[in-house]
Amino acid sequence: MADNTINIQEEPSEENLNEILQIRRDKLQQLQQEGNDPFAITKFDINSSAADIVANFEEDTKRVVTIAGRIMSWRKMGKASFMDIRDRSGRIQLYLRKDDIGVETFEDLKKWDIGDIIGITGFVFKTKMGEISVHCSNVTLLSKSLRPLPEKFHGLKDTELRYRQRYVDLIMNPEVKDTFVKRSQIMKFIREYLDNRGYIEVETPILNTIPGGAAARPFITHHNSLDMDMYLRIAPELYLKRLIVGGMEKVYEIGRLFRNEGMSIKHNPEFTNIELYEAYTDYNDMMDLTEDLVSKLAFKICGSEEIQYQETQINMAKPWPRITMADAVKQHIGLDFEAIANNHEAARKLCGSIGIEVKADASWGTCLYTAFDQRVEEKLIQPTFIINYPVEVSHLTKRCPNRPELTERFEFFIYGRELGNAYSELNDPIDQLERFKDQIKLREDGDEEANMLDEDFITSLEYGMPPTGGLGIGLERLIMFLTNSASIRDVLLFPTMKPID
């Protein structure tokens, strides 16, 4: 986020603000009494934009244009005025002269303010200072701003106010809008990429009777007509895999997930996720797809596969390293879990040797994952696949054929953050039922993030699901990198905020 953002802290004192608000309302009332109520206007036809005017300027042609936008600055000079207005494409200067727009309209300008939205018709010219501008022949007040815009030239002291009043942030800071334009382009590219590979976009329920598909604490709501508690979905996984069972073979969904967890620069309670599933593939195919998609996306949005995030250069070009979790732990912190494979007591001692606390009954796989999670993840700066996760933390994943204590699962990391999660999907209904039972035991022991038993999902697997690869990516985290945004709140138009008392 640029430094020249708005500062809502620099607003006038409450007494002065109340006076300003009253003056603006008085101006509106005068306009309405004179039959010039801006809020009575229902439509204004435009034929150009600020960016179009600048891009298509011709010195010898007085091109007539009709545009609309918000007044951002105003310089009055007797019988003439210069205004800057901003529309969705950018800024353009206007020249208003009393003789051209008429005496009555020019007098009405006294009832206009910075922040008002106007429509104008005029011809394009270049001023003596060399600025492309519009010489107005007609101006219309389309909407009255009853509240003054913030002071333009101060930095924002309280970032939460910017997130709370995103509409003001967008008015004052074009670069904020640019971030969300890029967000839209990212979504469009992902859809086109998958559609071109034969995937079908689908929609699955947001209200669930059972929260499943991820280890997360759900939000609970109540359905009055059915008189039953329901859950906002934490993942669409189990529904999407039902569609694979049904023969759809390639499906994806982009949508909101809801997890009742903590908040940070990487976490918001609701966020946008993409999950995709493809029959007859495995996690190796999902790694190929992931690095291809992300590298192409980086080039599309940033113009290069090498991007800058904060002060770090990130190279998104494929191929990315593929490292087993055990090898990553050995490489970064020197603990060799493979040398003590399946020796639970030795694994607990190994963690303890460098101050990693685990439960007294922690298994080898749990110890391996804990060591990785606490000491290794933050060290993975360049795009990296970590593969072969312990089965204890991968209850929906197919086991490695020769290592039943491990699974064919990967997560990919950039800048020490996990961005995506993928499996060779477990399609054995008997094994899946046993793993659900393990999750039930964890819930009984107080783990609110453990999965509940989804009997219908087990039933679907009993009809037969082909070997399948699946992938989920948290899109806000990816968008953060592609827009060089420090916080997840910078890429959410309306992040979750605690109400002001």
Task: Domain of residue 36: give its range.
Answer: 12-149
- Which percentage of the chain shows pLDDT scores above 70? 96
How many folded domains does the chain comprise?
Answer: 2
Q: Domain holding 19: CATH number?
A: 2.40.50.140
Asked whether 172 and 150 are in contact (CB, 8 A), the reply is yes
| pLDDT (0 to 100) of residue 11 | 53
Same domain as 229, residue 126: no
Determine whether 4 is exposed, middle or buried from the number of CB atoms within 10 Å of its CB (0-12, 13-18, 19+). middle
Each residue's pLDDT tens digit, 281-322:
999 999 999 999 999 999 999 999 999 999 999 999 999 999
> Mean per-residue pLDDT for 10-17?
69
Q: Report residue 261 as tokens.
A: 């967890």
Output the average pLDDT for the chain.
Answer: 93
Of 134, 149, 164, which residue sits at a domain end? 149
Q: What's 386's domain CATH number? A: 3.30.930.10
- For residue 299, report the phi and psi dihedrals to the nearest 5 degrees: -65, -40
For 244, how many CA atoms within 13 A lie in the half-sphere containing its CB?
Answer: 29
Backbone phi and psi for residue 468, each to the nearest 5 degrees, phi listed first: -145, 140
The pLDDT tens digits for 391-403 are: 999 999 999 999 9
Q: Are residues 437 and 295 in the same domain?
A: yes
Residue 236 has pLDDT above 80, yes or no: yes
Q: What is the pLDDT of residues 125-157, one digit of tens each?
A: 999 999 999 999 999 999 999 999 887 644 444
Q: Per the domain annotation, does 366 fall within a domain?
A: no
Is the confidence at residue 185, as pLDDT, over 60?
yes
CB 162 within 8 A of CB 156: yes
* Whether 317 and 182 share a structural domain: yes
Residue 3, pLDDT score: 36
The arithmetic mean of pLDDT across residues 229-251, rounded, is: 97
> Do 416 and 479 lie in a common domain?
yes
pLDDT of residue 158: 64
Q: Are residues 270 and 401 in the same domain?
A: yes
Do 418 and 455 sit in the same domain of this protein? yes
CA distance 167 to 494: 10
The reported pLDDT for the residue numbered 365 is: 97
- pLDDT-based confidence at residue 443 (cuts at 50, 70, 90): confident
* 109 pLDDT more than 60: yes
Which pTM does this prediction carry?
A: 0.91
